[in-house]
Amino acid sequence: MTRTATLITDEQWDQYFRQGFLHLGELVDAEELHLLRERADDLAVGRVVNPRVQVQLDTGGRYEDLPEVTGQPSSGTLRYRKVQGLETDELFRAVLRGPVLAEVADHHYGRHTSASLFRAMVMNKPAAQGTVLPWHQDGGDVWALDRDPLITIWMALDDATAANGCVEVIPGSHRLGLVTAQGSTLSEDDARRYCPEDQVHPLEVPAGHAVLMHNWLIHRSGVNPTPQPRRAFTACYLDSRTRNLLTGEHFPLILGTSTGPAQPYLDLLRAEHADRTASAASAAEYAESLRADNAVLQESICSATEYARSLEAELARLRAAANESASASAVGSAVSWVRASLQRARVLFGRLRPNQQ
């Protein structure tokens, strides 16, 4: 395999950081280019089977109406939009490493870290078709990563021209940062604001040549009215410490040394969730026992209250009887007994209501 790209000069880096893209020159020779085009089509139609590869068909309609990405189809159509998972294919995997990548990763992520691969796929504009890809940025919360990837290397498998729907960019738009935290497709208002037609630049790239693109560079692509397909291989690289927020996992290492096994983040979350669920169940059981104890307590309070009232009524009756000249000694004894009973009832009532204040 031929590698004719040279290391990036300081002047080229200055240009890249101003514009958000840089032509890298030819990365593959004609022979390898033929093999890559053939492999992309073979994977898309199922002539070569790879269970880890997924395909999205091109319907030629609105971007929002595209079908879901699925496993390899059996329809045999070349009207596909995307073939992804190509890091698992030996031909495409060989293209993912190269001397330029090390320098690119160093500039963006620093020499102290390694680079991993977020995704590797072939994007296709089928002959006389293709779906309009609206203005967007490749980053943001929609990607569910703990940090934004910044590097994409886009390589033409067929000549990419303005006539066949090549990528169009807004030079320098990466310096805006992400237009929204969500990232991805720009709203109509943001597209009007940041993408005036007089600033649109077509990225015309000969087959076998590549472009380095900053992921925040605003870009789009149109349909392909020509009788030939326009295919491109694109790979997005990220800091190897990046994790998937949904799984806690790292991504496949492509350059440098391993950062070590991924922390079992999802397992920790599951264990914590199990602990909290068990604690919640225990708390619910305890609360139920308190409710049962409270019901018994309330019943006892009601009984004690009723008993105290009956004693007070008896005391009142005896006092009335005493006033009607009944035996003073007999009445006095009865009153003493009732008072003592009432005092005991009040003490009991106080014990039953220690927390009712």
| pLDDT tens over the chain, length 357 residues | 343 445 899 999 999 999 999 999 999 999 999 999 999 999 999 999 999 999 999 988 788 888 888 887 766 789 999 999 999 999 999 898 877 888 888 888 888 888 999 999 999 999 999 889 999 999 999 999 999 999 999 999 999 999 999 999 999 999 999 999 999 999 999 999 999 999 999 999 999 999 999 999 999 999 999 999 999 999 999 999 999 999 999 998 888 765 544 444 455 556 667 777 888 888 888 888 888 888 887 887 887 788 778 877 877 877 777 676 555 566 667 667 767 776 776 666 666 555 544
Task: Say if CB 43 and CB 112 are below 8 A apart.
Answer: no
pLDDT of residue 261: 45
Residue-range definition of the domain harbouring residue 323: 269-352
pTM higher than 0.75 = no
Cβ burial 150-176 (10 Å sphere, 16+ → b, else e): bbbbbbbbbbbbeebbbbbbbbbbbee
Please report whether residue 337 resides in a domain: yes
Please report whether residue 3 resides in a domain: no
CATH of the domain at 161: 2.60.120.620
Report how many domains make up the chain.
Answer: 2
What is the distance between the alpha carbons of residues 268 and 263, in angstroms, rounded to a whole number?
Answer: 9
Residues 213 and 277 placed together within one structural domain of the fold? no
Residues 62 and 211 placed together within one structural domain of the fold? yes
pLDDT of residue 7: 81
Residues 167 and 87 placed together within one structural domain of the fold? yes
Last residue of a domain, one of 218, 247, 262: 262
Last residue of a domain, one of 262, 283, 313: 262
pLDDT of residue 271: 67
pLDDT of residue 175: 97
Residue type, 115: A
Please report whether residue 4 resides in a domain: no
Residues 202 and 286 placed together within one structural domain of the fold? no
Tokens of 136: 């967007």
Residues 240 and 303 placed together within one structural domain of the fold? no
Please report whether residue 35 resides in a domain: yes
Residues 125 and 249 placed together within one structural domain of the fold? yes
- The length of the chain, given as a count of residues: 357
Residues 342 and 248 placed together within one structural domain of the fold? no
Backbone angles phi, psi at 79, to 5 degrees: -85, 65
Please report whether residue 97 resides in a domain: yes
Please report whether residue 141 resides in a domain: yes
Residues 169 and 305 placed together within one structural domain of the fold? no
pLDDT of residue 148: 93
What is the distance between the alpha carbons of residues 178 and 165, in angstroms, rounded to a whole number?
Answer: 25
Residues 90 and 199 placed together within one structural domain of the fold? yes
Task: Say if CB 147 and CB 239 are below 8 A apart.
Answer: yes
Residues 277 and 244 placed together within one structural domain of the fold? no
Residues 42 and 162 placed together within one structural domain of the fold? yes
Radius of gyration of the chain (CA): 39
Residues 224 and 320 placed together within one structural domain of the fold? no
Last residue of a domain, one of 232, 262, 292: 262
pLDDT of residue 260: 47
CA-angle at 77, arms to 76 and 78, nearest 5°: 125
What is the distance between the alpha carbons of residues 114 and 147, in angstroms, rounded to a whole number?
Answer: 15
Residue type, 127: A
Please report whether residue 343 resides in a domain: yes
pLDDT of residue 182: 95
Please report whether residue 288 resides in a domain: yes
